[in-house]
Structure 1
């Protein structure tokens, strides 16, 4: 280890490839600059937090990969908050951890964690590497929903038998169902050398799987949904280090425009899905959260938030400009890591640092990026 000092549907296909990035750039130029030390927590008086059921990938995996497959996620992962490896791909807390803290509930336990687990506050089905397609492959979104169905049936049985570690019918009815998935579908498609057009053509199928999942949860009595869109894929150090770049594919901040435009199209389709479901399910609350704009603003205006080298990983190998080498990733022999307390947005080239996650969470809690503008603690019972 080396310590570094600083380290398909026609409407979709006909979308102007550069219009999404251009719109984002314009919004950033006309927005008011944030202070260098933004508020990172919100005072909450939530006395009866909802049970939270999370479906997703590594962005919200709180230890499922380690518990389910025994995969090692070594230090320095977890060094900032937990002071040990917690199974999270970050130096500390994830966005979902901050959201849980904002409503005074404990961190979510992975569904596959069998060691002393208590699921009275909900359960986390998210697993590193998960996507929506292909289906029936561990741990795709539909598999996570199938796990939920099993968990719900067994949990109600155990509560009826007197268990205090699980949830009864009321907990599921009043629960909050969070969905944060889709990044890997896009990322894997680009990794297979599919063209931009080919990747875009897959988006309707990805959205359809998310629809099926929400419909299944709704059929089980779920009425509260919190849906995150995907972040700026083209700004990840991993992508920037692996992709053969050409100057006309880089935006003003050094991110890959084609990757970000694909993410933008996915997000547009996801927003449309949430609007459709909201009109169909009049008794449901479906909140769409624009994670993309939050994260892109963090990168574009990194210095205003106190961050340096917004496209460089804190933990990785190779040094500037990205400090990412697929052969020597964070926590594996030979990795380099920035000093603890350094202000980096990217932790390992793919996932965000706790400092960045804290700011993203605070912006989510502001409701400025939510449609409709419903506060997270609205779901307190």
Structure 2
């Protein structure tokens, strides 16, 4: 399985991370996420209540890449008011925030293979405190929660958002920057880190993984206990692979180059070439001599092969159908299935495709099919 650090709603970088995971380890079906996914409360924009599209787009991408589930150990920048209320209503039960995404309560234990895991989310924010927008009193773990978690015995792997006092050099460099943070936030961070340090000792975790500080690193605790700090999306050290058989962990190879390259391609597409007046230059919709083009719209006709990093799509605009064709062993619930095509919302070389498709002819319900970054659009005979 994969373990990932903070994603912070960085859509392009996250798309690159997922593509890298399935290309490197196509057998991965579970992602353990260490918090700050940026599951956020809706906001009022122009007088209307609006929710971020990131969670829905991520859910579609997980399906696209054959990832069955993402288990979230909530971070301090996730929606703790909602999470706290839900965990109170249903103690000890994961909270489903999207079709394939579950938020785990503090102290939640689960087993995969022979490995026993515990999720213990939350952390003290260094950048904001009481009275600031988005801050929640529930973001920081409590002494009683640590005591209850320890009572239930040992675990093999501990998943936290908060960092422990582990002498990881990159983490220490941040917490020691006393002039960068308000004194009250430094004190809150230190107290929160002590709780996680006590938790590691209490449950005798062989491996501990955390995010929060946006740096990568490793440290050795007592009795050969390993502690890993995972970086933020778009930076090297954001994701690694855990073998639940021997509990071996390895950083995903070539992370720095591939994330920067793919993330930059996708993000640059949002502000793609401009003309001398600063207006976006339109992609080429006309067929070239090789039968390819840069953009496909819902108004076009014909059969097309849309090629992405991890798969291809057969899009028939005459029959209004779409079919995903994987190029690796990753499996999605829609692989090989011809689905009724409702709309081509976006299909441009250099960015992710977005197609509205129904499960079958009998239903009017439409779901989004989000592709990886598109490499080519080719006309089929």
Please give the TM-score of this superposition, normalised by the length of structure 2.
0.34
Structure whose residues are more often strand by fraction: 2
Structure whose residues are more often helix by fraction: 1
Please give the TM-score of this superposition, normalised by the length of structure 1.
0.34
Larger radius of gyration: 2
Which structure carries more relative contact order (alpha carbon 8 Å, separation 6+)?
1
